[in-house]
Structure 1
């Protein structure tokens, strides 16, 4: 397979963009090859600048529930553009979008639009601190909540510890109030709250982690979070940037049966446009400017193009909720097909799934937290990625990413992917 034009573009990009890309995962550094450059996409397929067509399981990292360039969303977009793409003052569609999100998510009364998932989580934590008057927050190792300073944190040398920065440029003083706990570990969670619970403003959690591979939160763990946060009057924040409107139309509430105090959205609520949002109960959101003293603003927040596409996306999902059943069936078919291939090849690897999110871990399971996930054989995964790419299957260029399914993925796509998975695994392991 030729990638000459992609390689030319990458060489040029390296001159003007750090690392040649505008987000690190696009660099393909972790799999040891130069990135491919997209030219166009439709349905379940993406075509690169060299004319290679792939079955796409990246799907813009999750927002493309209906696939690429769906007719259901594209109709009317030209008219929307002709009216103006940004105003700097309020629009009717912002109100319509906010109402739609609040009606879909039974835990919140109000929502504020922002421009990215990072902005949503950063803002939600500031609001939680302003609401509670406390400074500390608790996150879980392996859960990614964007690149704001206070969240670029890993656990330190102790089991229960203050966080330490994971990136240069983040002062230790900034993360000193960020506590880190093991995901899905209720005992460690209780111990942290026993020692420091009165000072913890908020707990932020991915109900299904999508950034250490797909690692679902155990139901009893999510329930324990709710119980403990109630006991200590701590704000429970669900980071649903990936899971929001993907697990179910009512998101993690429908999937786990647990309501948070606040929620962060992204991806799907913009249907692929840059967007984010955070929401909460009215008494919490009342601390946000201009009503309250906690400042947060954004010139392009509620951008009419993003609101238009996002609203159409949510309307489709609301009115066609059988899509979730169909996506679940497809994802189960893919996951079971990969499991059967592993069995045939006598490979003791692990497949995790949550709704339409699937991940093949190159490690023995169960994979329930960050410590489990980092046991993966990264070299084998990298070789596997390249084999799949050569067979026109595009998956995440990292072991620690999900495969995202969409309405556009056909049973034929999935069957082809399962066959390619078998051949790639066989070749990588010289079987």
Structure 2
């Protein structure tokens, strides 16, 4: 029995499912999760001494690679002054100013401790600002585990949401409407019926929780037009895409300005952190300036701020995103070629350093329904073949992949070769 297997058995006695976030349990692919002992650069090292080339990157934050010296040194230096103050500190001002500089739509910024907190708070703010209760989200888009966001689409565009999880009262879910991602006509129909009741649209500008699905041309622009017409708040959930697909996030790539933006992952450099911000007029409704309450014991934590500032300073250097995009394109092109050579039908999506692949004969995958129709069995087999060869992919067909600047040409070649050998075995 491997040490990972031993640890997993032990963990299940005191931790529900043996993990602290469900996808880590390998339920969707089967087998025993790999327990990681350390990480450096593009690599993870498990408790049994095996090295993996990592394409999860802690689910997105590790754009610079694991254990980057600038971030590590910033954390060590900050920790020498204390771990948490429960009071304002200079670093949180520096962080807010840096975010506002890089993402101009975020005129004011509030720090929190997770992406879920950020989206939950942004929605509360949108409701308080508009005086409306209903929100609209998209099928397959994940915005954290707040009650009103754990909702899937019912049948028909105007169907009220149904909770995905036990423990979410139907009375909460009834205020959440769902649409098909990339279906602007469906959104327009809902607004024609319910527009005056809708406080906000919340959307991942690039969907990253049904694998990686970019927006269709004019989809985000169309959401902006609809929100302007109905005086509805447009929220971009850039927890995943922020500082990942471009320095200014997906809103810079697609040239669409939201009213509010949520951030996380990269802005913590690997530490727990989140943020939301946007138009000054809206943000001034947050306490203590306004009546919409939001608070957090560890919000603006000095260690997280130090790590995040170091990360943002590093990724602000010239050509960072050009290099990251080129590396990602190189990887995708190589895997695509290998798949074609072995007659394995696949479809690929990429935006900057974020990518996804689908075992599908379809030329394009652009919504959740299409994503769920892909060959999940083939993905499971491929995942384990790659894991055996030291390639660590997300253990779910519905998660995006992430590259880092630490991935070398040799790492990419090793990954492409492993994929070719895995395709031959499918």
**Could you say which TM-score interval applies, normalised by the shorter chain?**
over 0.9
Contact in 1 for aligned 2:264/2:274 (Cα 8 Å): yes
Q: Which residue of 2 aligns with 1:277?
A: 275
Pair 1:341-2:330 in alignment? no
Q: Distance in 2 between matches of 1:152 and 1:78?
A: 37
Q: Which residue of 1 aligns with 2:27?
A: 29
Normalised by the length of structure 2, the TM-score is 0.98
Which one of the candidate residues 395, 398, 401 is aligned to 1:397? 395
Pair 1:213-2:207 in alignment? no
Q: Which residue of 2 aligns with 1:378?
A: 376
Q: Deviations over 1:134-160 (max 9, x none)?
A: 111000001000000000001112232
Deviation at 1:72, TM superposition (A): 2.2
Which one of the candidate residues 46, 65, 68 is aligned to 2:66? 68
Aligned-residue CA RMSD in angstroms? 0.9
Structure 1: any 5+ residue segments left out of the alignment? none
Q: Deviations over 1:171-210 (max 9, x none)?
A: 1000101000000011111111111111110000000111
Which one of the candidate residues 279, 292, 295 is aligned to 1:294? 292
Deviation at 1:96, TM superposition (A): 0.7
Residues 312-351 of structure 1 mapped to structure 2, 5 A cutoff: 312-318=310-316, 320-351=317-348
Q: Which residue of 1 aligns with 2:183?
A: 185
Q: Distance in 1 between matches of 2:89 and 2:313?
A: 19
Q: Deviations over 1:390-411 (max 9, x none)?
A: 0000000001111100010011
Q: Which residue of 2 aligns with 1:311?
A: 309
Contact in 2 for aligned 1:138/1:203 (Cα 8 Å): yes
Pair 1:123-2:112 in alignment? no
Residues 20-99 of structure 1 mapped to structure 2, 5 A cutoff: 20-99=18-97
Structure 2: any 5+ residue segments left out of the alignment? none
Q: Which residue of 2 aligns with 1:368?
A: 366
Q: Which residue of 2 aligns with 1:408?
A: 406
Q: Deviations over 1:360-405 (max 9, x none)?
A: 1112221000011000111111111100000000000001111100
Deviation at 1:339, TM superposition (A): 1.4
Q: Which residue of 1 aligns with 2:352?
A: 355
Contact in 1 for aligned 2:157/2:189 (Cα 8 Å): no
Pair 1:233-2:244 in alignment? no
Deviation at 1:77, TM superposition (A): 2.7
Which one of the candidate residues 128, 132, 135 is aligned to 2:133? 135
Contact in 2 for aligned 1:249/1:321 (Cα 8 Å): no
Q: Deviations over 1:83-129 (max 9, x none)?
A: 10001111010111011111111112101000100010000000000
